[in-house]
Amino acid sequence: MRFSIITPTIERPSLDRCRESVQTQTYTDWEHIVMVDLPRTNNYGNSPRHNGWTRASGDYCIYLDDDNYFADATALQRVADALVSRPDWAIFPIMRHGLWFFNDPPGNCRTDTANMVIRHDIAQWPDGPEYTMDGLFCDLLKSMYPYAAFPKVAPIIVMETSGRGQ
């Protein structure tokens, strides 16, 4: 199983930590697509996510923002182990602002981009201006495809801050 890790960036210093967390994964069948948001579209990384998806060749997409990082070197291996049944998409716990973050059922204002791992053929990120695009996309996925939830898997991604500094 191959992963496409798509990172939208505005070239913040945190991108170095993000890239290092990808490069140190023990699971090695992945590609890391870093999409610079230039000219700055001010749509919360939605255009770079959308454009990154067009370049992705993996079986599953993971959207890893430039101010987030994998929780540890085994995060991708845990995801691969959980996805043996090949669900259309799945949700995993993350550490968000120092707290375990996971909601099932997923949905708008209940699920973050970092919670979702999505089969490539349905992972085309919408290219819209909404700050809550991750929740809107999650609701769309939920209405069209079955998902798998893995609440007992250790958090796969750490989010220390968000685009609004929260």
Which pLDDT score, from 0 to 100, does residue 160 have?
86
CB of 90 within 8 A of CB of 96? Answer: no
C-alpha separations of 115 from 7, 41, 42, 43 in Å: 14, 24, 22, 20
Domain ranges of the chain: 3-159
Sign of CA dihedral 62, 63, 65, 66: positive
> For 137-149, what is each residue's pLDDT tens digit?
999 999 999 999 9
> For 14-34, what is each residue's pLDDT tens digit?
999 999 999 999 999 999 999
Segments in the chain below pLDDT 70: 39-41, 162-166
Which pLDDT score, from 0 to 100, does residue 147 have?
98
Which pLDDT score, from 0 to 100, does residue 66 have?
94
CA-to-CA distance for 91 and 85, rounded, in angstroms?
A: 14
CA-to-CA distance for 79 and 143, rounded, in angstroms?
A: 23
Residue given tokens 């089969």 in the structure block: 119
- The class (CATH top level) of 3-159 is alpha beta
